[in-house]
Amino acid sequence: MADSSLQQPIATAGPKSQGATFQWGKWLLVAFVFGFLGLILLVPTLNVFVQAFKGGLPGLLDTFTNKFFLNAVKLTVITAAITVPLNTVFGLCAALSLANKNFPGRALLISIIDLPFSISPVVAGLMLVLLFGNRGWFGPLLDANGIKIIFALPGIVMASIFITMPFIAREVLPALEEAGTQQEEAAATLGATQWQTFWRVTLPSIKWSLLYGLILTNARAMGEFGAVTVVSGNIVGKTQTLPLFIEEAHTQYNSQGAYTAALLLACLAVVTLVVKFVLERGAGIQSKSH
Amino acid sequence: MTSSPPSSSPGLWHKILHAPWTWRVTWFYLILFLFLPMAALVLKSLTLNPAEIWRIATDPVAISTYNVTFFTALVASIINGFAGLIIAWVLVRYEFPGKRFLDAIIDLPFALPTAVAGLTLSTIYSTNGWIGGFLEPFGIKVSFTRLGVLVAMIFIALPFSVRTVQPVLQDMESEMEEAAWSMGASQWQTFRRVILPPLMPAILTGVAMGFSRAVGEYGSVVIIAGNIPFQDLIAPVLIVQRLEQFDYAGATVIGTVLLLISLVALLVINLIQARGRRFYG
């Protein structure tokens, strides 16, 4: 990874940005970008806020007292509260196992960890149904013991875990590689235990990447729709998360309800982007595609 | 945690038992939450007989959903390939007011839940929405048509095309460009012969990643589309419909087709990146 701070000198050194004759070309492209992003990203996002406040404060409060809405909020928060810590442990372990090591199959293992990003969320949900559904592989066994996974919280959590599995490992791994092993080795030489080395040396060097991974995992876990649709059964007031509430309110022409729930999730997205922006400026986390 | 080369070659069990605990957690988690579900899908499709699989996979409704899904995803990712290149170019090379803001909101589709995206896009692009109302006099309908599917797919896949090209463009040396420029190459020639070739692997990677994401997309599309077979029904929505009818075999076969396509897309992405590294270091 080359240093991305090279951006500044290049931004002004390009021959095209200097010749006054080409300025119209620049502004044409800038106008295109504003137009395209406006139509695809900006206007739709603004619309969420406009529609949510269309009915004024009473409209918003009306939804906020709806018990199915409150149940959806609760379920979404619980799901994220279980998914994020579990995936954090996994992400850290995977990154620690892979960083600064060379072994055959390492690249393959990284691809495997990334796999959930390539699989359609609906297919991920389908896999869980085939495994734990009442006609699935473990269906009879779970039935006999009275354990419900599909159409219940465990299924929703497993679907969220599947979808968000790669985020933390993917953010932390490059940070660990960049930090190198010298400091850890020094700590070990000075008699620190593995835990001490982790808490005092490793963790501080990856904290911003870890935080960014946490934020992404949380945003995706709270917003996951496709996989959760398949495993939750969408039982109103029981297994309905916020994204499912949005769809149901929308199909029942309850625009205010749909947009109030959308407002909450849009605020979550804005917070996610602001945190990312701050981390990128302050801690040099690089933008990358997911 | 460093593994010292053992004197006698240890067995697999020895290796597993003596692996660092971070390794054991990683593999336990992968097996439980990733391999087991994937195995369930593969095993389920193996229990169906080939004639049955063929009948379900080539059912006219299924074929029409492949057409809608793959064709629309391809068009969306190609549009994003061009738009992403221009956006990355503008963000790296130019200074203008609002640049940082634009750069920050590129990731919005990663952060905004797909249900929210589908909801707001379907409102805006409906015939009485802000943008849809403007298009309606021209006879263009977006929401509840294939065009709506396209808009949703462009939305969710856009960041891939920008974020793959942007870092490559940032790291690109301007010396070659200046050399071409000083030797009298036109702006277009410089772009096509000097700038574009090293960017191609990144552009193609972005297109392939966007395609892969668009093919699997469910949330935003199910809300903006009418979900009518032969018109705008996509494969992931068909899987959900089959499951709602408790047709597990149908859902499994179509799910396996989608899974195979995702794996092929992943392979293509890796090949493009490997080639890119070989040629442009």
Q: Which pLDDT band holds residue B90 (cuts at 50, 70, 90)?
A: very high
Please enumerate, as own/partner, the contacts of B18-21 that have beta carbons within 8 Å and a separation of 24 or more.
Answer: B20/A97, B21/A93
Q: Which DSSP state fits A133?
A: S
Whether B153 contacts B214, CB under 8 Å: yes
Which pLDDT score, from 0 to 100, does residue A283 have?
A: 61
Q: Is residue B22 a part of any domain in this protein?
A: no
Mean pLDDT of chain B: 90
Q: Which pLDDT band holds residue B123 (cuts at 50, 70, 90)?
A: very high
Q: Render pLDDT for A53-95 as a digit per residue (tens, 0 to 9).
A: 988 888 888 899 999 999 999 999 999 999 999 999 999 999 9
On the question of pLDDT at A289 being above 60, the answer is no
Q: Mutation target for B interface from A7, A119, A185: give the one with most B CBs within 10 A.
A: A119
Q: Does A212 touch chain B (CB under 8 A)?
A: no
On the question of pLDDT at A129 being above 70, the answer is yes
- For chain A, percent of residues with pLDDT exceeding 90: 64
Question: HEC states along A100-127?
Answer: CCCCCCHHHHHHHHHHHHHCCHHHHHHH
- Cα dihedral B96, B97, B103, B107 sign: negative
- Interacting residues of B1 by C-beta distance below 8 A, sequence separation 6+: A194, B20, B22
On the question of pLDDT at B4 being above 50, the answer is no
Average the pLDDT over B72-88 and give the result. 96
CB contact under 8 A, B37 and A128: yes
Q: Is A53 exposed, middle or buried (0-12, 13-18, 19+ CB in 10 A)?
A: middle
Q: Rounded to whole angstroms, how far apart are CA atoms B183 and B188?
A: 14
Q: Is residue B193 a part of any domain in this protein?
A: yes
Which pLDDT score, from 0 to 100, does residue A161 have?
A: 97
Q: Mutation target for A interface from B33, B134, B176, B223: give the one with most A CBs within 10 A.
A: B33
On the question of pLDDT at A18 being above 70, the answer is no
List chain A residues with CB under 8 Å of B34.
Answer: 112, 115-116, 162, 165
How close does chain B come to A286, measured CA to CA in Å?
A: 9
Q: Rounded to whole angstroms, how far apart are CA atoms B105 and B119?
A: 19
Q: Rounded to whole angstroms, how far apart are CA atoms B274 and B281?
A: 10
Q: Is residue B42 a part of any domain in this protein?
A: no
Q: Which pLDDT band holds residue A286 (cuts at 50, 70, 90)?
A: low
Q: Is residue B51 a part of any domain in this protein?
A: no
How close does chain B come to A67, measured CA to CA in Å?
A: 20
List chain A residues with CB under 8 Å of B94.
Answer: 11, 17, 26, 29-30
SS3 content of chain B, % helix, strand, coil (to 5): 75, 0, 25
Which pLDDT score, from 0 to 100, does residue A284 have?
A: 57
Which pLDDT score, from 0 to 100, does residue A3 have?
A: 43
Nearest to B56 by CA among B246, B249, B243: B249
Which pLDDT score, from 0 to 100, does residue A119 have?
A: 93
On the question of pLDDT at B120 being above 90, the answer is yes
Please enumerate, as own/partner, the contacts of B103-107 that have beta carbons within 8 Å and a separation of 24 or more.
Answer: B104/A273, B104/A276, B104/A277, B105/A37, B105/A41, B105/A42, B105/A45, B105/A273, B106/A37, B106/A41, B106/B158, B106/B159, B106/B162, B106/B163, B107/A273, B107/A276, B107/A287, B107/B159, B107/B163
Q: What is the separation, in whole angstroms, between the first and last Cα of chain B?
A: 32
How close does chain A come to B225, measured CA to CA in Å?
A: 12
How close does chain A come to B110, measured CA to CA in Å?
A: 8
Q: Render pLDDT for B48-70 as a digit per residue (tens, 0 to 9).
A: 999 999 999 999 999 999 999 99
Q: Is residue B27 a part of any domain in this protein?
A: no
Q: Rounded to whole angstroms, how far apart are CA atoms B271 and B258?
A: 20
Q: Among residues 6-45 of chain A, which lie with CB inside 8 Å of chain B?
A: 6-7, 10-17, 22, 25-26, 29-30, 32-34, 36-37, 39-45
Q: Give me the CATH topology for the region A76-237.
A: MetI-like fold (1.10.3720)
Q: Does A119 touch chain B (CB under 8 A)?
A: yes
Average the pLDDT over A117-128 and give the result. 95
On the question of pLDDT at A16 being above 70, the answer is no
Q: Rounded to whole angstroms, how far apart are CA atoms A127 and B154?
A: 27
List chain A residues with CB under 8 Å of B115.
Answer: 223, 225, 242-244, 246-247, 262, 265
How close does chain B come to A268, measured CA to CA in Å?
A: 8
- Interacting residues of A211 by C-beta distance below 8 A, sequence separation 6+: A275, A279
Q: Render pLDDT for B166-221 as a digit per residue (tens, 0 to 9).
A: 999 998 877 778 888 788 888 788 888 888 988 999 999 999 999 999 999 999 99
Q: Render pLDDT for A148-174 as a digit per residue (tens, 0 to 9).
A: 999 999 999 999 999 999 999 999 999
Q: Render pLDDT for B250-281 as a digit per residue (tens, 0 to 9).
A: 999 999 999 998 889 888 888 888 887 776 54
Report how many Cβ contacts below 8 Å link chain A to chain B: 291
Q: Mutation target for B interface from A73, A115, A122: give the one with most B CBs within 10 A.
A: A122
Task: Look up the ipTM and state it.
Answer: 0.89
What is the number of domains present in chain B? 1
List chain A residues with CB under 8 Å of B178.
Answer: 15
Tokens standing for residue A1: 């990874």
More confident: A219 or B14: A219
More confident: B253 or B19: B253
- Interacting residues of B227 by C-beta distance below 8 A, sequence separation 6+: B233, B237
Q: Mutation target for B interface from A127, A150, A278, A285: give the one with most B CBs within 10 A.
A: A127
CB contact under 8 A, A266 and B258: no
Pick A273's closest partner by Cβ from B44, B104, B117.
B104
Q: Among residues 61-80 of chain A, which lie with CB inside 8 Å of chain B?
A: none
Q: Rounded to whole angstroms, how far apart are CA atoms A176 and A172?
A: 6
Which pLDDT score, from 0 to 100, does residue B194 have?
A: 86
Q: Is residue B43 a part of any domain in this protein?
A: no
Q: Does A201 touch chain B (CB under 8 A)?
A: no
On the question of pLDDT at A276 being above 60, the answer is yes
Q: What is the CATH number of the domain that holds B195?
A: 1.10.3720.10
Q: Is residue B70 a part of any domain in this protein?
A: yes
Give the residue extent of every domain in chain A.
76-237
- Cβ neighbour number for residue A161 with a 10 Å cutoff: 25
Nearest to B1 by CA among A255, A195, A57: A195
Which pLDDT score, from 0 to 100, does residue B178 have?
A: 81
Which pLDDT score, from 0 to 100, does residue B251 have?
A: 95
Q: Rounded to whole angstroms, how far apart are CA atoms A215 and A278?
A: 13
Which pLDDT score, from 0 to 100, does residue A8 have?
A: 41
Q: Which of A220-224, A260-264, B7-11 has the lowest mean pLDDT?
A: B7-11
Pick B123's closest partner by Cβ from A51, A244, A269.
A51
**Chain centroid, CA B235 distance in Å:** 15
Average the pLDDT over B40-44 and give the result. 93
More confident: B100 or A5: B100
Q: Which pLDDT band holds residue A123 (cuts at 50, 70, 90)?
A: very high
Q: Render pLDDT for A225-252 as a digit per residue (tens, 0 to 9).
A: 999 999 998 888 889 999 999 999 999 9
Pick A26's closest partner by Cβ from B23, B94, B130.
B94
Q: Is residue B133 a part of any domain in this protein?
A: yes
List chain A residues with CB under 8 Å of B248.
Answer: 129-130, 133, 135
Which pLDDT score, from 0 to 100, does residue A4 have?
A: 42
Which pLDDT score, from 0 to 100, does residue B269 have?
A: 86
More confident: A7 or A67: A67
Mark residue B93 as left, alpha or beta (left: phi above 0; alpha: psi -120 to 50; beta: remaining). Answer: alpha
Tokens standing for residue A193: 């235990």
Q: Render pLDDT for A178-218 as a digit per residue (tens, 0 to 9).
A: 888 888 888 888 888 888 888 988 999 899 999 999 999 99
Q: Which pLDDT band holds residue B245 (cuts at 50, 70, 90)?
A: very high
Nearest to B157 by CA among B82, B239, B68, B99: B82
Q: Which residue of A has its CA nearest to B124?
A: A44
Q: Which DSSP state fits B139?
A: T
CB contact under 8 A, B158 and A40: yes
